[in-house]
Structure 1
Amino acid sequence: MGPWRLLGLTAEGSYGVVFRAERAASPGAGVFALKLARQPEDPRFALEVELLSRVEHPNVPRLHDSGEWAGPEGALHPFLVMDWVEGLPLYSWARIQRLSSRQVLRLLAQLARALQAVHAAGGLHRDVKGTNVLVRAADGQALLADFGSCTWRGAPVLTRQSHPPGTPQYASPQAQLHQWKFRRFASARYEASPADDVYALGVTAYRLVAGRYPLIAEAQEAGEEDLFSRFPALVPVEELAQLSPELARWIGQMLSEKPEARGTAAELALGLELAANTVGSEADQPIRSGKPPARGLPEAITREAREAPPVQAPRSVVRRRWPAALLVMGGGLAASMWCVWQAKSGASSEVSGTDAAAPEGETTGLGEVVLTQPLSAPEPLPTSEGIAEEVPKEPLPGQRLPPCKKPQVKIHGSCWIPVADEAPPCIEDTYEWKRRCYVPFFGPPLPATSGQKKKPQGLSDP
């Protein structure tokens, strides 16, 4: 492919594929990562190349080359070549570590420095998350990768939907509230800012230490129209994990509702570095995650949450103007509110197979480049209850039986929903099947058709 010889396919995503490559003229010069667009003339690659050409930082993979490859039918597919990072994605790396608060402070400081360089170049990453962070095996350095959703000041607008690209669970309060407010006006485009990248880094840190996305502290008692007129408070991370007060404070600051309260990437990097160098020996103790605290949610909500599984809707649903805030605010509340909203609006739950987004672990870009042999760890952290649990052979009590409507899929004679951003090992309350994570669907029974006399065994009477 031009001056590059491909050595093997390492990752595939919705928009591109990644190969190990070497320079054909000097094979001993080292290995690189070559990312090739699936679609001809994909304009996202031009944005990525332009921004990466402006950024030179030790915590961002360097851009070495870019060009176009003529496919079998003559169509030109853009490609780019970057540093090959031999390491693991952040969440995968953390599973084989005994993470301490000091370690996390240093990692977050490195990522904040990477964002500082991106923002100084007039750019935005717009998809900061654990699977787009690589921890290098040689020295434990964290690198911010996969700039496929990036933009920069003056860049052409490639998408016209109201919500910005990226992963819904990492969207800032401003992005979520904008999408809810303008859910009926797809052309009301949200303009992302550096503060959105900082918030996404906060979500990444919260999930890294607590093992879950940020949880809502309390439900709002409001009508549907003004339900998200303000962003609800989140459960402080220190209530879900045993970590140093300094780390908890910085994570809380990054997750501030007001953008100006989060601080710039440069301010965060300086504060995190200072904290990592000055915290006491207690910051070297392993971080331990716990169960979420009981909160005073209204009884109707908690009852529905117990009866409905956590639902993560595919990104294609967001494009159909489903409220983004419902997709990110955790577990049972999101599930129950989503069901109530769908029932009121009569919205269809069907999405086309071509619209369905890839899971977070399968997104396009260098964030997927990992070691073929996983790193070893003498004392791995114990897995949480429910992790790597296989889909049961029989339907769960009350679970919907086929026929299953999209995005539900039929597995072992019952209906399941794929979790849009999870790849095995699956977090608790989800189940694994064929290298994907799923939650059971407990919807109301389908209306009986003529000739149906036998009641499905997997459903109970209302």
Structure 2
Amino acid sequence: MIAIHHPAQLHPGQMVDGWRVVRLLGAGTYGAVYRVEKNGQHFAMKLAMHRASSGDAAQADARLKRELGCLVHLEHPNIVASRAYGRWPDLRTGWLYVILDLVEGYTLAEWVERMHPTAQEVARVFGKLAGAVDYMHGRGVFHRDLKLGNIMVRASDGEPFILDFSAGDYTNAEDLTDAPLPPGTKRYRSPEASRFLRENGDDRNARYEFKVTDDVYALGVCLFDVLTADQPASGAFKAPVEGRLMPPPARELNPRVPELLSDAAMNFIARKPEHRPPTAEVMRRKLEAFAVEAGQDWTTPLHLPATKPHFDPATGPEESVAPRPRALGRAVLFGAVLVVAALVAAFMAARSAPRLASARAAGSSPVSSSLGDAGPVALAEAPSQLRPHVEDAGVSLDAGAAPLVPSTLSSPGVALPPQAPVQKENPAVKRAPTVASPSEAPAKKALSSRGSGAEFLKKCAAASAAVALQLGCPSSSQVRPASDECPSDAREAMFNELGLVKGSSTLLTIDMKQPGSQADLGVYSDGAVRGVVRSGNRRMPTGTILYGQLWTGDGRLLARYTRAQYPDGNTYPVCIAIGEEGPEDGWEGSKPGAVVFPRSFGAYWVSRWP
């Protein structure tokens, strides 16, 4: 059992005040969300990312308390319900958690891509959402961060739910904002709020008065995006909505949108608040009238199933059925290389056949002698064992949390899914057999000629890169680096240009190529690695790719990421570490160079490397 250092690091089977953790669903700036079980019933548990006494600048504890305050005011069939709350492990000083109903389905963006809804179905869903928004306004609650990722559609019956009130507000609530605008997402921010920020951005005491028409506008942008974007989950929107000018009409961007629905969507996102519906109830009545329309425009899918490549940061591009000409050319070239390789292999096999026959006659096997008895079996079974598996539909209940997606195979390190029957709550990790390459034997002999391995590694650790190379030391990635200062250009980029908060964290998929879901374990070795942010915010968005290095030589894991590539293509020097105070202990079965560790883990923005 490893010590718990972070709310995003609970493991399957762990008990939290009688709630059994099943798996991680997602995480964001303010909280981590788990599927939990108690007395045979499943719920979602959201934990604040920091304790009340941690000095957290983002005030995660206070914001989850605020979210709970919003939810206790609300009881509506299309708003997620809270069932319990507490602090763990200590009732006074522990992490705050809230138990919520578990909504199993898709985010609104995923629903569009998977279900290809009709205009009639979209009008029905948004009519219910508008009714829920009007209900919350009637009880003095504002959501303040309505967006596609904070709305779920339940898979069983298509019912929509509004989630994540971490940016919410209610009458007489304590002011947590230390900026002119409340937390939120720029695309869904009303024009009047954006104007207020332009005019008062330098005044830290200025506060925007959030209004009903701000939530109306945000829900209108959600509708506009659902109507016009066939792949909204990837952020591929057809038109910007920010700015003083209106975007093109929805019907102009997508001719499948009925004219009446297009006009209504543009009305909801009018530049001036007085030109929008004054309440969400007006939205609801208009949309519910459209939900009974029966013409062909209303009953055919708004978007055809996508045939173009779709990119996911964790899995890479998904090729279309028809390859592009350049890809086809590469395929032909690759095929030719395979043919040549096969001919060479056949020729070598023919030459070695007499030697193999004599070896068998002598009772020895060249394959077994190099791979061990399990070698041929392990290699034969590897393709099926390494095939990634897909989890059942997961739900992220926190802002910016990304859907759980299976990945492709990994390097460095290989994570194998558990043997049947699959136990998702406690995934077993099987290590591949160690295969000695011919080049390793001379290296071991050279090491022994220099004295004891420990003494030699100490010399390597103390040597400069040039001297280490002359000594013939192992790769520098195998020797854990000492703690030192983060470079000044990275500190400038992170804490000034990007506005990241020193010591804050995000949930990171450590290695993009490790197979399985976020709740799985991986096996990691030394070397270069690419991670991906799974629960970003506007300062470091979901999907940001991080380039770095892993060290596992002492049976623990340390990761340093030094470059961040944002989804818009911009790159920045950074200092992001897994292991805030030094290497993290590996899970059961770890050994030097093969550390068993969760596929996703909390990563910290640091000014000094641990």
Q: Normalising to structure 1: TM-score of the pair? A: 0.61
Equivalence for 1:123: 141
Q: Take 2:254 and 2:155, find their aligned partners in 1: how far apart are those partners?
A: 26
Q: 1:155-304 residue pairs with structure 2 within 5 A?
A: 155-211=173-229, 212-213=236-237, 215=239, 231-242=244-255, 243-263=257-277, 264-288=279-303
Letter in 1 for 2:567: Y
CA displacement at 1:6 relative to structure 2: 2.3
CA displacement at 1:277 relative to structure 2: 1.0
Equivalence for 1:152: 170
Equivalence for 1:69: 88
Is 1:10 paired with 2:25?
Answer: yes
Q: Take 1:251 and 1:131, find their aligned partners in 2: how far apart are those partners?
A: 19
Q: Take 1:259 and 1:58, find their aligned partners in 2: how far apart are those partners?
A: 28
Are the equivalent residues in 2 in contact too, given 1:59–1:114 (CA < 8 A)?
A: yes
Letter in 2 for 1:237: A
Are the equivalent residues in 2 in contact too, given 1:238–1:248 (CA < 8 A)?
A: yes
Are the equivalent residues in 2 in contact too, given 1:7–1:20 (CA < 8 A)?
A: yes
Q: 1:8-87 residue pairs with structure 2 within 5 A?
A: 8-23=23-38, 27-28=39-40, 30-41=41-52, 42-70=61-89, 75-87=93-105
Q: Give CA deviations for 1:248-301 in whole Å, capped at 9, x if unaligned.
A: 122111101222332111111111011111352321122249xxxxxxxxxxxx
CA shift in 2, pair 1:423/1:143, >3 Å = farther
Are the equivalent residues in 2 in contact too, given 1:62–1:83 (CA < 8 A)?
A: yes
CA shift in 2, pair 1:161/1:419, >3 Å = closer
CA shift in 2, pair 1:436/1:281, >3 Å = farther
Q: Take 2:139 and 2:498, find their aligned partners in 1: how far apart are those partners?
A: 41
Equivalence for 1:378: none
Q: 1:297-312 residue pairs with structure 2 within 5 A?
A: none
1:438 aligned residue (559, 567, 591): 567
Q: Take 2:280 and 2:202, find their aligned partners in 1: how far apart are those partners?
A: 33
CA shift in 2, pair 1:165/1:18, >3 Å = same
Q: Take 2:219 and 2:123, find their aligned partners in 1: how far apart are those partners?
A: 12
CA shift in 2, pair 1:358/1:3, >3 Å = closer
Equivalence for 1:398: none
Q: Give CA deviations for 1:40-61 in whole Å, capped at 9, x if unaligned.
A: 1211122111211111111111
CA shift in 2, pair 1:106/1:50, >3 Å = same
CA displacement at 1:21 relative to structure 2: 1.5
Letter in 2 for 1:68: R
Q: Give CA deviations for 1:85-142 in whole Å, capped at 9, x if unaligned.
A: 1111111121112221111111111111111121111000011001111110100111
CA shift in 2, pair 1:50/1:442, >3 Å = closer
Q: Take 1:273 and 1:283, find their aligned partners in 2: how far apart are those partners?
A: 13
CA displacement at 1:352 relative to structure 2: 4.2
CA shift in 2, pair 1:442/1:79, >3 Å = closer
Are the equivalent residues in 1 in contact too, given 2:24–2:518 (CA < 8 A)?
A: no
CA shift in 2, pair 1:420/1:39, >3 Å = closer
Are the equivalent residues in 2 in contact too, given 1:88–1:371 (CA < 8 A)?
A: no
Letter in 1 for 2:269: L
The runs of 4+ residues in structure 1 deviating greater than 3 Å are 212-218, 348-359, 418-424, 434-437
Letter in 2 for 1:139: D
Letter in 2 for 1:439: D
Moved more, 140-149 or 259-268: 259-268
Aligned length: 313
- Which structure is richer in relative contact order (CA contacts within 8 A, separation 6 or more)? 1
Equivalence for 2:363: none
CA shift in 2, pair 1:40/1:152, >3 Å = same
Letter in 2 for 1:260: E
CA displacement at 1:439 relative to structure 2: 2.6
CA shift in 2, pair 1:371/1:119, >3 Å = farther
Aligned to 2:301, the other structure's residue is in SS state coil
Are the equivalent residues in 2 in contact too, given 1:127–1:149 (CA < 8 A)?
A: yes
Letter in 1 for 2:43: F
Q: Take 2:156 and 2:174, find their aligned partners in 1: how far apart are those partners?
A: 38
Are the equivalent residues in 2 in contact too, given 1:169–1:213 (CA < 8 A)?
A: no
Aligned-residue sequence identity (percent) comes to 29
CA displacement at 1:421 relative to structure 2: 4.7
Are the equivalent residues in 2 in contact too, given 1:86–1:371 (CA < 8 A)?
A: no
Letter in 2 for 1:47: R
